[in-house]
Amino acid sequence: MALIGVFDSGVGGLSIWREIVRLLPQHDVLYVADQAHVPYGHRPLEEVRRFAEGIARFLIGEGVQVVVLACNTASAAALHYLRAVLPQVPFVGMEPAVKPAVQNTQTGVVGVIATPATFQGELFASLLERFANNVTVLTRVCPGWVEAVEAGMLNTPETEALVRSCLEPLLEAGIDELVLGCTHYPFLRPVIERVVGPGVEVIDPAPAVARQTGRVLAARGAGPSRGPARRRFATTGDPERFRAMLSRLIGVDAQVEPLRWTPGGLLERVT
């Protein structure tokens, strides 16, 4: 039986959870939201790395066979580090989908939207070095987007104004590919597509991450659960608020386990 561990700073990683469950419906999944510290995007990379390690150690203690960092910021800050210090399980991380955007562009101008920490990490610099030859890659930080999703403001005039103010400079520069470099952003996709129009392809990396998770499990010989697959959710924030967002964002009604951080940086259940 394979238990997949998935974590994010908040509800954004549910966009990855949704694809994992769709592609791998026979596997148990445990999702952890670190809402005590959301958003991660403006925090120092070292701080995010500490949070990511604490969550990863908790998930390993729960018996997961693979850990998915369903957070671009955490991946930028901690993916290589976690693979080094916790080699007993494989880690699947996020990276902005620069490669397919570069392959598909007709204008030669690609837009990537993400948090400051994602752009500061070595992963993003490596992506540009490997794939962005002869193509202009424009980056934008989009303040307020994560907070809007966490608040459930998915399709309001205020949210559309946030989206428009961030994307208009990219549109004026001639992008025809837009990479969503934060797992919260797919929940704003209807607004994003309305703003950018049909001439811009919006790329969500969630399906690719789910496929990679499946490949990792297959390589480890991990079989499906023997009974109905279990879907567990936990948060360091307000469990009832998170439960309401589960229903709103992905149509799931489930109990949410409360977690808390110890002074020593460990994650534990609230009893």
> Which CATH number does the domain housing residue 156 bear?
3.40.50.1860
Segment among 17-21, 35-39, 192-196, 218-222 with least mean pLDDT: 218-222
Q: Do 124 and 42 fall into the same domain?
A: no
Residue 93: its pLDDT value, please?
97
pLDDT tens readout for residues 39-83:
999 899 999 999 999 999 999 999 999 999 999 999 999 999 999
Q: Do 199 and 103 fall into the same domain?
A: yes
Which helix (H) or strand (E) segment is 68 a member of? strand 66-69
Residue 224: its pLDDT value, please?
66
Q: Are 79 and 69 in contact (CB under 8 A)?
A: yes
Q: What average pLDDT score do residues 140-151 get?
A: 95
In the predicted structure, residue 1 carries a pLDDT above the cut 60: no
Q: Do 106 and 35 fall into the same domain?
A: no
Which helix (H) or strand (E) segment is 202 a member of? strand 201-203
Q: pLDDT band for position 221 (50/70/90)? A: confident
What is the number of structural domains in the chain?
2
Residue 247: its pLDDT value, please?
95
Residue 188: its pLDDT value, please?
97
Q: Do 175 and 199 fall into the same domain?
A: yes
Whether pTM exceeds 0.85: yes
The answer to whether 71 is a known catalytic residue is yes
Q: Do 8 and 87 fall into the same domain?
A: yes
Q: Are 184 and 154 in contact (CB under 8 A)?
A: no
Domain ends where: 184, 204, 224?
Answer: 204
Q: Do 219 and 86 fall into the same domain?
A: yes
Q: pLDDT band for position 222 (50/70/90)? A: confident
Cα first-last separation, the chain: 27
Residue 225: its pLDDT value, please?
62
Q: Do 176 and 106 fall into the same domain?
A: yes
> Which long-range contacts (C-beta less than 8 Å, at least 24 apart) are formed by 261-265?
261/36, 261/54, 261/236, 265/50, 265/53, 265/54
Catalytic residue among 71, 137, 170, 249: 71
Q: Are 200 and 138 in contact (CB under 8 A)?
A: no
Half-sphere exposure of 40 (CA within 13 A, CB side): 36
pLDDT tens readout for residues 229-261:
999 999 999 999 999 999 999 999 999 999 999
Q: Give the residue from 36, 65, 62, 61 showing the smallest Cα distance to 50.
A: 36
Mean pLDDT, all residues of the chain? 95
The span from the CA of 2 to the CA of 92, in Å, is 15
Q: Do 186 and 264 fall into the same domain?
A: no
Domain ends where: 159, 182, 204?
Answer: 204
The span from the CA of 156 to the CA of 111, in Å, is 24
The answer to whether 166 is a known catalytic residue is no
Q: What average pLDDT score do residues 85-114 get?
A: 96
Report which residue type is found at 70. A
Domain ends where: 150, 175, 204?
Answer: 204
Q: What average pLDDT score do residues 11-24 get?
A: 97
Residue 227: its pLDDT value, please?
74
Q: Give the residue from 171, 112, 50, 118 showing the smallest Cα distance to 58.
A: 50
Catalytic residue among 29, 56, 182, 188: 182
Q: Do 242 and 110 fall into the same domain?
A: no
Q: Residue 15 sits in which domain range?
A: 3-94+207-269
Q: Do 227 and 195 fall into the same domain?
A: no
Q: Are 226 and 2 in contact (CB under 8 A)?
A: no
